[in-house]
A and B are shown apart, each in its own frame.
Chain A
C-alpha cells in the first residue's frame, strides 16, 4: 500500500491530521473561554434569581426616567457596537485594514459610552445609599447582587475595550491576521450577549412605576 495505516488515520478528522472543528486553536480557545465565562455569569444570574424569588420586599428602584431609559440606551450602545464589530470582521476578511480600524474604533466608542453611562448610574445609586450590604428600600442583598453582576460585566466591557484597542493598533501597523480580529469579535459579542440577560432580569423586572 502506498500509505501506511498510520498515515491514512492521520489524514482523517479524528486522527489529528485535520482540524475536527475546522477552526484554528486560538479561536477554539476563545470559544472554550466563552463557554466557561457563560457558566460564571449563569451562576451569578441564577444566584440573584434564587435570592430574589426567596425574598419579600425586593427593591424595585428603577424609574422609567432616568434608570430604564439610560439602561435602554446602554443596550443600544452595545448592540450597535456588535454591529460595527461584525463589519470590522467582514472588512478584515477582505483585507481592508483601514475599514477594520475605523469599525473597531466605532465599537470601542460604543463600549466606552456604555461604561460612562453605567458608572454614572452606579454613582447615583451609591449616592442614594445603596451598598453591598444595605439599601434604603428593602432586602439588603439587592446591592450585593446588583453591584456584583453589573460590576463583573463592566470589568468584561472595560477589558474588551482595551483588547479592541490592542487589536486596532496591530491592524493599523498591518501586523494582524483575520483570525485575530475574528477572535476579538467573539469576545465582544459575548460581552453583549451577557447584557442581553442582565438588562431584562435586573432592570426590566424592577421597574418602579410611581
Chain B
C-alpha cells in the first residue's frame, strides 16, 4: 500500500471510531436527560434504559471490539449463547413480584 492510500484508509477507520464514540456519548446524554426529567415511571425508565444500554453494548461489541469485521462463525459461536443464557436468568423475575405481594404492608 502506498502511503497516501494507507493514510486514507487509516483516517477512514479513525473517523468511524470517533463517530461511534459520539453516538455513545449522545445516548449517554439521552439517558441522563431522561433520568433528570423523570418523564417515565420506574418501570418505563427500566425498559428504556435497558434498550438504550443494549444499543450501546452492540456499538461497543461491533465496532470497538471489532466483532463486526470478524468471521461469522465467531460471532455465531459467541453472541447467541450469551443472549440465551441471560434470557434464561430473566425467567426468575416474576418470582420477585410474588415476594413483593407476600410482604407485610
**Chain A interface residues toward B at CB < 8 A:** 20-23, 28, 31, 35, 38-39, 42-43, 46, 49-51, 53-56, 64, 68, 72, 75-76, 79-80, 82-83, 85-87, 90, 94, 182, 185-186, 189-190, 192-193, 196-197, 199-201, 203-205, 207, 209
Contact = CB atoms under 8 A, between A and B. Distances in A.
Contacts of A87: 14, 17
Given A35-B81, A72-B32, A79-B21, A53 B61 contact: no
A29 to B, nearest CB: 12
B44 to A, nearest CB: 11
A119 B93 CA distance: 31
A19 to B, nearest CB: 9
A55 B36 CA distance: 23
B24 A79 contact: yes
Contact of B82 (A38, A43, A46, A209): A38
B35 A204 contact: yes
A42 B25 contact: no
Interface band, chain B: 35 or more
Nearest to A89: B66
A161 B103 CA distance: 44
Interface in B14-57: 14, 17-18, 21, 24-25, 28, 31-32, 34-36, 38, 42, 45-46, 49-50, 52-53, 56-57
B57 A196 contact: yes
Interface of B: 6, 10, 13-14, 17-18, 21, 24-25, 28, 31-32, 34-36, 38, 42, 45-46, 49-50, 52-53, 56-57, 60-61, 63-66, 70-71, 73-74, 77-78, 81-82, 85-86, 89-90, 92-93, 95-97, 99-100, 103
A192 B60 contact: yes
Nearest to A72: B32
8 A-B pairs with least C-beta separation: A54-B99, A200-B49, A53-B96, A204-B35, A54-B96, A22-B71, A21-B74, A83-B21
A203 B45 CA distance: 12
B14 to A, nearest CB: 6
A72 B35 CA distance: 12
Contact of A39 (B21, B34, B36, B86): B86
A20 B73 contact: yes
